[in-house]
Amino acid sequence: MVTSNPTHDFTSLLQKEWLETNGLGGYASGTVSGAHSRRYHGLLVAAVHPPVGRMVVVSKFDETIVVGENRIELSSNQYPGIVHPKGYEHLTKFERDLFPEFYYDAQGIELKKTVASIHGENTTLVLYEVLNALDKFKLELLPLYACRDFHSTSHANNSIGQPYLFEDGIFRTLNYQGCPEFFIQVPNSAFTESKNWYYNFEFAVEQYRGLDFKEDLYTHGKFSVELKKGDKLGIIISTEDPKGRDAFKIFDKEKKRRHSVVKDFSENKSLKRLALAADQFIVKRGKLNTVIAGYHWFSDWGRDTMISLPGLCLVTGRFEDARNILKSFAESVSEGMLPNRFPDYGEAPEYNTVDATLWFFHAIYKYYQYTSDKEFISKLIPVLKDIIEWHCKCTRYNIHVDPSDELLYAGEHGVQLTWMDAKVGDWVVTPRIGKPVEINALWYNALCAMNFLLTESGKKEEGENYLTKSKKVLRSFNEQFWNEQQNCLYDYVDGANKNDDLRPNQIYALSLPFPLLTKAKGQQILKAVTEKLLTPKGLRSLSPDHKDYHPIYGGDQWHRDSAYHQGTVWSFLLGPYVDALMFVKGTKGKSEATKLLNQFLNHLDEAGIGTVSEIFDAEAPHTPRGCMAQAWGVAETLRVAVEHRLF
């Protein structure tokens, strides 16, 4: 499947990224141009403490074809004021089907390169195949490495380890204490020592983001291999000794695994690509599973995991993974709350979220809908009951049920608890203290789900207690949240203060399994959201009519966080929008939803090839921003496409 045709325009190729992941939180990633645009790019980014503790071990290879005295460089790097070398000019084609594949034509020498991360290992393969060559030639490979935390950058120093070993085609070294030892196996190669620092690699995206964007990389020397037409060269880069291993055998095993991942979607290219992208986010945490919220920099977040689970695991038939994820988070419940996130460096989980816990109910309900697994659900029901009890009596951050109306209140000064959680210093950009609209839609659905699950488990009388509560919530919700003046819902209610900012959060009152409104009111909400918030890339987070609306997401952290939920478009919101569309319009909405999704899927070739970006600018051309691959963006697109049979 061809997903990107090189134009030999460096800027265009630099904006297109590829990603390979290993099921541990580690990955390989770069741009189609060959130059890195982010500090997070690397050929081997290892998860030292899976799924976190990620380190850029080997940044890249600089590749050169040598024919006699003629040297043809295939690599590209961005330095201050210059791109050197310009190997992208030899790139004839880039494909992304199961793996990223690069095709080069270097003065008649045609070379194919494939990059593959191996599931369950901190291992990257780089495979070369000589498609055409009149004579023998040498391929020189210069490994450049950083060996640093993936949030930082490397700079020349005298502390880097000098010793290395090279024997039987395997290079090994330990550059710094606390960093993993790594190995590079290049069969039938010679190694020429040349210890050097290479200075001032520039990362364009980091510069745009107002962050440190220059890096120095080190090498001990270069490999050289003689090749001819028909030859194949398989290179292993790993934190484990590859002695006795064959790169192509490892590759074949990984290829079979990926075929099994997409086998149910082979008839539709778009769904196949989304299923393959979905696979990248499901990773190990101990003996169980979790979800990486986004690449490159997010770890596993409770909210993102629960929203993503149906699309990543259920519509793809990965029920065991779903069970392991639900079990993993159930074991982390504290005072009736799911963790907001697991930090990068093994610290205690953070619990500053109100919605992750409520999305947990939704994910469990959806799991049962797909599996009818009563045995597993019965093990989770005590956890769910405990969660509701904590919410009724009050848990962290003043999260509690208001006994006067049974609605859920959340928040205190200086804390951001909903998904609109941007914070700069002590400034919470969208505090939303009170009774947020989507939180109470989720609260209602949690109570309804409890009634349903208990009834299914043969405990109908116990379930009716939650049904009674849900009816009170439904009545109070309709009384307090309907905005007569704008014919939509308030964003949050705090006593007499009813916030009328037009945001996408109200769409959840229509999209969840247990809607809170009539279709007549739903039609009015859908109209308001469609007119002011809908874009080809998702929903805006705030109406353009608002005084705090930001059309562009960019600049330093202050400017970016100021815009994060103040207009910026979010891809994952297409999921609930399509659900709401189908709820309100039924089968008549199917053609509209299909058209919208088909239009959106053009994005799969726009930024992260074969995946979905986290966010976009609020105005055309809706430039992709944030993470180049976001779990809930992929998951929600795949989910609604499959559940509503849009293709």
Whether residue 140 is found in the same domain as residue 277: no
CB 580 within 8 A of CB 247: no
Six-digit token pair at 497?
A: 């203060």
Give backbone dihedrals phi and psi of 254, rounded to 5 degrees, phi first: -65, -35
Whether 260 is covered by a domain: the verdict is no
Outline where 189-241 has alpha helix (H).
Answer: 204-208
Average pLDDT over residues 108-123: 98
- The residue whose two tokens read 């509690």 is 400
- Pair (351, 439) in one structural domain: yes
Tokens of 640: 């609604």
Do 475 and 343 lie in a common domain?
Answer: yes
Q: What 3-state class would DSSP assign to 46?
A: strand
| CA distances (Å), origin 438, targets 24, 489, 506 | 32, 10, 6
Q: Are residues 104 and 182 in the same domain?
A: yes
pLDDT digits (tens, 9 = 90+) for 371-392: 999 999 999 999 999 999 999 9
Q: What is the pLDDT of residues 546-590, one digit of tens each?
A: 999 999 998 888 889 999 999 999 999 999 999 999 999 998 999
Read off the CATH number of the domain in which 20 is found.
2.70.98.40
CB 634 within 8 A of CB 574: no
In the predicted model, what is the mean pLDDT of residues 31-38?
98
Give the pLDDT of residue 1: 47
Tens of pLDDT, residue by residue over 329-338, are 999 999 999 9
Residue 266 lies in a domain: no
**For the residues 601-627, what does the mean pLDDT come to?**
97
* Residue 555 placed within a domain: yes
Residue 224 lies in a domain: yes
Is-contact 43 29, C-beta < 8 A?
no
Query: Pick from 624, 604, 602: which is nearest to 614 by CA?
Result: 624
Q: Give the model's pLDDT for residue 557.
A: 84
In angstroms, rounded to a whole number, what is the distance separating the alpha carbons of residues 393 and 279? 39
2 pLDDT above the threshold of 70 = no
259 in a structural domain: no
Residue 460 covered by a domain: yes
In terms of DSSP H, where are the helices of 195-268? 204-208, 247-262
User: Quick check: 626 and 40 in contact, CB under 8 A?
Assistant: no
Q: Is residue 441 part of a domain?
A: yes
pLDDT per residue as tens digits for the range 456-493: 999 999 999 999 999 999 999 999 999 999 999 999 99
Same domain assignment for residues 405 and 512: yes
The 3 state secondary structure assigned to 121-165 is: CCEEEEEEEEEECCCCEEEEEEEEEEEEECCCCCCCCCCCCCCCE
CB 64 within 8 A of CB 74: yes
315 and 211, same structural domain?
Answer: no
Does residue 224 sit in the same domain as residue 314?
no
pLDDT tens digits, 58-98: 999 999 999 999 999 999 999 999 999 999 999 999 999 99
Say which CATH number the domain at 422 has. Answer: 1.50.10.10
Domain of 502 in residue numbering reads as 272-643
Residue of 606, 622, 607 whose CA lies nearest to 538 = 622
pLDDT confidence tier of residue 424, bands split at 50, 70 and 90:
confident
Mean pLDDT score of the chain: 95
What tens digit of pLDDT does each residue of 253-278 get?
Answer: 999 999 999 999 988 999 999 999 99
Contact (Cβ atoms closer than 8 angstroms) between residue 28 and residue 44 = yes
Say if residue 316's pLDDT is above 50: yes
- Do residue 173 and residue 315 come from a single domain? no
Do 316 and 200 lie in one domain? The reply is: no
Backbone φ and ψ of 60, nearest 5°: -170, 170
Judge if 434 and 557 occupy the same domain.
yes
**What pLDDT shows up at residue 348?**
81
Residue that finishes a domain, picked among 244, 263, 296: 244
Q: How far is CA 353 from the centre of its chain?
A: 19
- Distant-in-sequence, close-in-space partners of 327: CB < 8 Å, separation ≥ 6: 288
pLDDT band at 3 (very low <50, low <70, confident <90, very high): very low
State whether 230 and 323 are in the same domain. Answer: no
Q: How far is CA 360 from CA 356, 365, 551, 558, in A?
A: 6, 9, 33, 31
3-state secondary structure 259-279: HHHHHHHCCCHHHHHHHHHHH
The whole-number pLDDT of residue 5 equals 55
Helix (H, G, I), strand (E, B) or coil at 100: strand
Query: Alpha-carbon distance 512 to 436, whole Å?
Result: 15
Other beta carbons less than 10 A from residue 571's beta carbon = 24
List alpha helices for 457-551, DSSP H.
Answer: 460-481, 508-511, 519-532
Number of domains composing the chain: 2
Structure tokens at 69: 């005295």
pLDDT, position 7: 66
CA-based nearest residue to 575, from 262, 290, 359, 425: 359
Q: Is residue 504 part of a domain?
A: yes
For 227, the token pair is 């090749």
Indicate if 592 and 509 belong to the same structural domain: yes
